[in-house]
Amino acid sequence: MKEEALKVIEEVLKSGRTSLVEYEAKQVLKAYGLPVPEEKLAKTLDEALKYAEEIGYPVAMKLMSPQILHKSDAKVVLLNIKTPEELKEKWELIHENARKYRPDAEILGVLVAPMLKVGREIIIGVTEDPQFGHALMFGLGGIFVEVLKDVTFRIVPITERDARKMIRDIKSYPILAGARGEEPADIDAIVNLLLKVSELVNDLDDYIKEMDLNPVFVYEKGKGAVVVDARIILKG
- Assess whether 178 and 135 both reside in one domain: yes
Domain closes at, from 115, 139, 159: 115
8 Å CB contact between 89 and 52: no
Please, which residues have CB within 8 angstroms of residue 122's CB and are 6 or more apart in sequence?
138, 139, 140, 141, 176, 190, 215, 216, 218, 225
Q: pLDDT digit of tens for each residue in the chain (236 aa)?
A: 899 999 999 999 999 999 999 999 999 999 999 999 999 999 999 999 999 999 999 999 999 999 998 899 999 999 999 999 999 999 999 999 999 999 999 999 999 999 999 999 999 999 998 899 999 999 998 777 776 789 999 999 999 999 999 999 999 999 999 988 889 999 999 999 999 999 999 999 999 999 999 999 999 999 999 999 999 999 97
Q: Tell me, what's the pLDDT at 162?
A: 98
- Assess whether 88 and 188 both reside in one domain: no
CATH code where residue 54 lies: 3.30.1490.20
Burial group, residue 80, by CB count within 10 angstroms (0-12, 13-18, 19+): exposed
pTM over 0.75: yes
The answer to whether residue 92 is domain-embedded is yes
Write 3-10 long-range contacts (CB < 8 A, 24+): 4/30, 4/31, 5/31, 5/32, 5/200, 5/203, 5/204, 6/204, 6/207, 9/204, 9/207, 9/234
Domain closes at, from 53, 84, 115: 115
8 Å CB contact between 25 and 230: yes
8 Å CB contact between 186 and 221: yes
Q: Tell me, what's the pLDDT at 148?
A: 78
- Assess whether 140 and 222 both reside in one domain: yes
d(C-alpha 215, C-alpha 141), whole Å:
6
Q: Tell me, what's the pLDDT at 182?
A: 87
Q: Tell me, what's the pLDDT at 179?
A: 83
The answer to whether residue 83 is domain-embedded is yes
Number of domains in the chain: 2
Domain that holds residue 223: 120-234
Q: Tell me, what's the pLDDT at 69?
A: 85
Q: Tell me, what's the pLDDT at 236?
A: 79
- Assess whether 111 and 125 both reside in one domain: no
DSSP 8-state class, residue 26? H
CATH code where residue 161 lies: 3.30.470.20
